[in-house]
Amino acid sequence: MYRLVYTVNPGIEDISAREIEAELGGRVSYELMSGRVFHSIDKLYFPKIYMLRSINRAILYLWSGRIGRRWDDVLAIRSKLVEELEKISWYITPINTFAVTTERIGIHDFTSIDISRFIGDVVIEAVYRKTGVKPRVNLRTPEVIIHAYVRDDELVIGLSLTGSRSMHRRGYRVYDHPAALKPTLAYAMLWLSGTRDKDVIIDPMCGGGTIPIEAALIHEEAKIYCYDKDPEHIRGARYNAIAAGVINKVKFGVWDARRLHELRTSFDHIVLNPPYGIRFGDPYTIRRLYRDFLTSAYQALSSNSKLTMITTEYSFAFRFAEKIGFRIVESRTVKHGGLYPKIIVFVKD
């Protein structure tokens, strides 16, 4: 039995858990807003792990235990930890290199760097005991990455299965919009909206095109529109779509989202990441934009169709959307870029 830990954007753990269970089977568990999904499985399917669209990292569980909050407490478990990690010689040998990364949450009298060095020394000793040769550390381009997670007085150690880069960093991001949405959250928004093949999907404030590109990657036959009023963003979105291999599956255009109804197309799903007031600067300007956009979106949607958006301006969006006839079917807080916006799903009855 293999035990894995997946790191995800806090707030979408349930979506990631369902994707993991659907693609890989096994048993999953999670705590909402923890940023972690735990998975037990009989056999590892690496290709399927790499194809998961809602996770940031996949980590093979090696050891966990309580270490306290003082440095002396950490040092006290060294001998025990060396014995527990002798099995790491299956993955780290004298002929490959490794590095340790640490994420620490809580108040301690040690740093993340202290923990990384400590675990690095433990790994070297554990491998030396099994092989008689010390493995090499390479902090720049390691072949194996050990991930440590310290939360309060608990330490979890695992082996990274997805490399040093988070999987939310898709290779297609050639043009980087200044307020780009994480692709993992774009996937979650599409999942919450319930998009399907043959649906008509539009992002009318597409920026770098993350939402339409993710839609094109998961739907074979959906009709997908990527619009923005800024021609520079549309050019960038095209570059990203070319890099993602979906340029022929997305229609691009320069258009003002406040005139969406003038396109005379009936949409099944509007999914977007509009400007946030906290980033846009002027709350009056942002609310006027939301008012005009929501009014136009209501006219553009067919009956029983959905509007899904992520914003920190959710209180105003709630009030105005319900006033003009939308009904809220989903609202959840997520973490994105140090902020805690809500993903909201409205339906037009």
In order of 67, 96, 205, 222, 257, the CA distances from 346 in angstroms are 46, 52, 17, 20, 17
Q: Taking a C-beta distance cutoff of 8 angstroms, is the pair 322, 259 a contact?
A: no
Count other Cβ atoms within 10 Å, centred on residue 73. Answer: 15
pLDDT value of position 82: 92
Helix, strand, or coil here: 188? helix
Give the angle 260-263-264 at the CA atoms, nearest 5°.
Answer: 115
Where residue 36 falls (left for φ over 0; alpha for ψ -120 to 50; beta otherwise) is beta
For 39-96, the DSSP string reads: EEESS--HHHHHT-SS-SEEEEEEEEEE--SSHHHHHHTHHHHHHHGGGGGGT--TTS
Q: Provide the percentage of residues in the chain whose pLDDT is more than 90.
A: 76
Phi, psi (rounded to 5 degrees) for 55: -105, 160
Q: What is the pTM of this model?
A: 0.89
Count other Cβ atoms within 10 Å, centred on residue 113. Answer: 11
Helix, strand, or coil here: 211? helix
pLDDT at 48 over 80: yes
- Structure token digits, residue 148: 């440590």
pLDDT at 163 over 60: yes
pLDDT digits (tens, 9 = 90+) for 231-277: 999 999 999 999 999 999 999 999 999 999 999 888 999 999 999 76
**Is it true that 2-160 and 183-348 share their CATH fold?**
no
pLDDT value of position 279: 56
pLDDT range class, residue 162, cuts 50, 70, 90: confident
- β-pair type (57-66, 2-7): antiparallel
pLDDT value of position 301: 93
> From the centroid of its chain, how far is CA 316?
26
Helix, strand, or coil here: 295? helix
Which of 49-63, 69-83, 168-182, 327-341 is predicted least confidently? 168-182
Homologous superfamily of 183-348 in CATH? Vaccinia Virus protein VP39 (3.40.50.150)
Length of the chain: 349
Handedness of CA 194, 199, 202, 208 (dihedral sign): positive
CATH class held by domain 2-160: alpha beta
pLDDT at 284 over 60: yes
Q: Which of 112, 3, 14 is nearest to 54 (CA)?
A: 14
pLDDT value of position 278: 56
Q: In what order do the strands lie in the sheet with 144-151?
A: 27-30, 36-41, 2-7, 57-66, 154-160, 144-151, 97-105, 136-137
Query: What is the spatial distance between Cα 24 and Cα 240, in angstroms, rounded to a whole number?
Result: 29
Average pLDDT along the chain: 92
Q: What is the dihedral of CA 197, 198, 202, 206, to 10 degrees?
A: 50
Helix, strand, or coil here: 128? helix
Q: Which residue has the higher pLDDT, 264 or 12?
A: 12
81 Cβ contact list (under 8 Å, min separation 6): 63, 119, 122
Q: In what order do the strands lie in the sheet with 342-348?
A: 250-254, 223-228, 200-203, 267-272, 301-311, 342-348, 326-333
Domain positions in the chain are: 2-160, 183-348
pLDDT value of position 281: 60
